[in-house]
């Protein structure tokens, strides 16, 4: 049976913005393209949506195929549909973003990607297509997100000093915090459990370790809050 359509159908792609944290800086996962257009240029992982899959499935598949990153939560970011964003044909892209601990993944390039690497968000190379615009949109979303939703559970180790949480937020918002004010506000939310354990192998005075209360964390993610930084 041949289907006929009244209107022309643009192609649909997915692009994935995966933010990683290495304990010091916020990074972005990029692939070096192995095919035209933009061969040998760095880009966000992604590709065309197949007829037999949803866009969510396509995003997970492309991310796995090109970077070997899997089993992460991808949040839909925005739909990009400028007329000439892809030189091949009319292409609409649905973008996603995710937050991960870099240490948990052994990245490996495959399929259309010749290389895969983490780059500092503040020092990324020129990107293919309109991927710089997509990355900019994702960064804005993340910076806004810290004001209404808790951040850290996905990026920090299970146990961490409070200074690591401060450093993470500074990395995201791109400027120094009023650390005393930040500590007071954050502790009032009841998200953290102070442990009896202290840091090890540090040159300075050992600080206590903390961990997130996972139940309260998930509840605050669901309910939202106002957190002025």
* Residues designated as active site: 115
How far is 157 from 20, CA to CA, in rounded Å? 12
What phi and psi values does residue 140 have, to the nearest 5 degrees? -65, -40
Q: Smallest Cα–Cα separation from 119: which of 47, 37, 22?
A: 22
Alpha-helix runs per DSSP H in the chain: 55-67, 131-145, 162-173, 179-188, 214-223
How far is 108 from 227, CA to CA, in rounded Å? 37
Largest CA distance in the chain: 74
Q: Beta partners for 31?
A: 43, 116
How far is 58 from 138, CA to CA, in rounded Å? 19
Q: Name every residue whose Cβ is closer than 8 Å to that of residue 203 and which is 6 or more positions away in sequence.
A: none
b or e along 138-169 (b: 16 or more beta carbons within 10 Å of the residue's beta carbon)? bbeebeebbeeebbbbebbeeebbbebbbbbb
């Amino acid at each position: 049976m041949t289907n006929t359509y009244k209107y022309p159908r643009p192609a649909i792609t997915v692009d994935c913005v995966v933010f990683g944290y290495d304990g010091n800086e916020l990074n972005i996962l990029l692939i070096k393209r192995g095919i035209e257009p933009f061969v040998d240029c760095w880009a966000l992982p992604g590709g065309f949506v197949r007829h037999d899959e949803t866009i969510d499935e396509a995003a997970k598949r492309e991310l796995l195929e090109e970077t070997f990153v899997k089993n992460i939560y991808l949040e839909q970011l925005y739909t990009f549909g400028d007329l000439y964003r892809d030189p091949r044909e009319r292409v609409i892209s649905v973008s996603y973003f995710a937050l991960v601990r870099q240490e948990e993944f052994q990245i490996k390039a495959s399929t259309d990607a010749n290389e895969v690497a983490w780059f500092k968000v503040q020092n990324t190379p020129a990107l293919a297509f309109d991927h710089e615009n997509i990355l900019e949109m994702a960064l804005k979303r993340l910076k806004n997100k810290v004001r209404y939703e808790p951040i850290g559970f996905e990026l920090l180790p299970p146990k961490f000093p409070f200074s690591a949480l401060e450093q993470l937020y500074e990395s995201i918002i791109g400027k120094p915090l009023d650390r005393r004010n930040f500590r007071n506000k954050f502790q009032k939310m009841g998200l953290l459990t102070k442990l009896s354990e202290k840091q090890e192998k540090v040159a300075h005075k050992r600080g206590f370790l903390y961990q997130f209360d996972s139940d309260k964390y998930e509840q605050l993610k669901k309910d939202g809050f106002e957190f002025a930084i």
